[in-house]
Amino acid sequence: MFPKRYSPFLKTTFVDEDAEQRKAGMLIVAIIAFVISAWYSFNELTYALKGTTVTATVMRTYEFTVPTRYGQSAPRLGVEYAFTDADGDLRQDKDWVPLPSQLRGEPGVEVQYLPGPDGDSRLAANRSIIGPTFFVGCVAFLIVSLVQLIREANAPIPRRRRASGMR
């Protein structure tokens, strides 16, 4: 709202409220980005640690479009597949990949699934590295910000010298 001002009575500088509001807004955006990227990273880590990869039989493929920004549409290839899990149970699911895809016309596809009665499955081609990479970037930003905060908190307070002739 007001630019930084110096008060000779308080011998201090007032806080720039606009700059502080911008910093607070950026902090909120950073927290939201951190939480979203942590969710995607957790899902990828779950598939990496607990997931099993098998070859599934393609039951049906179909093309469809999804609306995107500015009234455009993007083509997708839907794949319905069936596979037998480690317990011997037949599981059926469906997933999609963007077109053009190398999965078109294949009799079998690689599928990752999570064991258990209500485990999830996905096409192995749908692995994502964007979420975990963004999460690592958020953690690095958090570490750098904390180091700067600690340095600023532990830095000595600079003493201002009085102007000569004023006592």
Q: What is the pLDDT of residues 62-85, one digit of tens each?
A: 888 888 888 888 888 888 999 998
Distance of alpha carbon 147 from the chain centroid:
23
Cα distance between the two ends of the chain = 34
Whether 31 has a pLDDT exceeding 60, the answer reads yes
Instruction: List phi, psi (to 5°) of 100.
Output: -75, 145
**Coil, helix or strand at residue 48:** helix
Q: Report if pTM > 0.85.
A: no
pLDDT 10s digits, 77-136: 888 999 998 888 888 988 888 887 776 667 888 899 988 777 788 888 888 888 899 899
How does residue 1 score in pLDDT terms, banded at 50, 70 and 90?
Answer: very low
Q: pLDDT higher for 164 or 20? A: 20
- Least trusted range by pLDDT, from 24-28, 46-50, 93-97: 24-28
In this prediction, residue 161 carries a pLDDT of 64
